[in-house]
Amino acid sequence: MKFFIDTANIDEIKKGLALGMVDGVTTNPSLIAKEPRPFILILQEICTLVDGPVSAEVVSLDADGMVAEARELVKIADNIVIKIPMIEEGLKAVKQLFSEGIKTNVTLVFSASQALLAAKAGAAYVSPFVGRLDDISVNGLDLISDIMTILRNYGFATEVIVASVRHPMHVVESALLGADIATIPYKVIAQLAKHPLTDIGMKQFLADWEKRKQ
């Protein structure tokens, strides 16, 4: 399973890289808005740090505008992937960008039908948002299961990025379902490494070692 980090913060990306947990990066307008520097400069720096795919999101609402933004964004680096919202105009943009060899990540996916359409349009990635579904009492991981089944049934090349990850079990359950990628906030990457018995065991080992030294 590939891990992308869901942030536009350079320090978090560096921390994730140091752990070997960053196979790619996803950003969105809300994440970019938290950072003080210009959008393009942030993306340039991320792309120099990370070899894998770096998603940059368009903000136009019509296909022509999305395509125009995408053509500019891909000039930043070879590993830029264009994040396109899952609306009808977005599907048109995905189809056009696919024909130009530009990779897309269809975002804000909340149903299996949306994922199927994105895959048919030629998206390289689809991003179902599990946490936001859980927030409205719909099981986000059931959606991942359905999407994996549908994409596998027809051999689509589209990869599933589990997005809106809120806690470690979102990652573990997604891995059990065979999801290709999870895009994870740094805080959850750190939580994945933690176990109270590891901490208790370390404390005991060190205490015993100190006693022996005395």
Give me the residues that bind ligand E4P (CB under 6 A), please.
Answer: 6, 26, 28, 107, 127, 129, 131-132, 163-164, 183
Q: How far is the CB of 180 from ligand E4P (least distance, A)?
A: 14
95 is catalytic: no
**Contact (Cβ atoms closer than 8 angstroms) between residue 77 and residue 44:** yes
Q: How far is the CB of 131 from ligand E4P (least distance, A)?
A: 5
H or E segment to which residue 126 belongs = strand 125-128
3-class DSSP assignment, residue 24? strand
Identify which of residues 116 and 170 has a Cβ nearer to ligand E4P in the complex: 170
Q: Name the H helices within 34-109.
A: 39-49, 63-73, 88-99
Identify which of residues 104 and 127 has a Cβ nearer to ligand E4P in the complex: 127
Written as one letter, the residue type at 104 is: T
Q: Which of 50, 107, 97, 108 is nearest to 76 (CA)?
A: 50
- C-alpha to C-alpha distance for 29 and 39, rounded to whole angstroms: 9
Identify which of residues 30 and 48 has a Cβ nearer to ligand E4P in the complex: 30
Q: How far is the CB of 59 from ligand E4P (least distance, A)?
A: 14
Q: How far is the CB of 162 from ligand E4P (least distance, A)?
A: 9
**Contact (Cβ atoms closer than 8 angstroms) between residue 82 and residue 56:** yes
Give me the catalytic one of 2, 34, 75, 83: 83
Identify which of residues 30 and 214 has a Cβ nearer to ligand E4P in the complex: 30
- Exposure of 199 by Cβ count < 10 A (0-12 exposed, 13-18 middle, 19+ buried)? exposed
What amino acid positions are annotated as catalytic residues? 83
